[in-house]
Amino acid sequence: MKFHERFVIDALARPGDGVSMVELKDFHDRQLRYMQHERLIHLIVTLFVSTYLLLIIGFIAIHPIWPAFALAALLFALVCAYLVHYFRLENGVQRWYHLANRIEERLGRVSRSYEQR
């Protein structure tokens, strides 16, 4: 994500360096679609792991055995890791939306920028 973001920012900063804005927009939109798909998959995985964590916590309330506690600890660590990853992924996609708006503005397709600079 960082590599692509740097590439787009550099292309926007130097508009005459061999990358046309139309090609940049097409490339960026394609990469954005890939990241949206990746974000959806990670959301689904995060929800499933969180659901299993809640189920094992319910099981522990009924049958407090040590393997269930170990499984709950493992699932809790996974949920925390997935949430951090999903948070970073979501923020990256949001930054890419702003880059797409800047490309559109550079192409003259947006009459005025609605983003505050």
Q: pLDDT per position in the chain (117 positions), as tens? A: 889 888 888 888 887 777 788 888 899 999 999 999 999 999 999 999 999 999 999 999 999 999 999 999 999 999 999 999 999 999 999 999 988 888 888 877 764 555 555
* In-domain check, residue 113: no
Whole-number pLDDT of residue 84 = 94
Give the residue from 41, 52, 39, 40 showing the smallest Cα distance to 79.
52
pTM for the model stands at: 0.76
Domain that holds residue 79: 20-107
* In-domain check, residue 5: no
* In-domain check, residue 11: no
**CA gap 104, 52 in Å, rounded:** 43
* In-domain check, residue 98: yes
Whole-number pLDDT of residue 37 = 93
* In-domain check, residue 4: no
Split into its structural domains, the chain has a count of 1
Find the distance separating the first CA and the last CA of the chain, reported in whole Å: 22
Whole-number pLDDT of residue 117 = 53
* In-domain check, residue 14: no
Whole-number pLDDT of residue 110 = 67
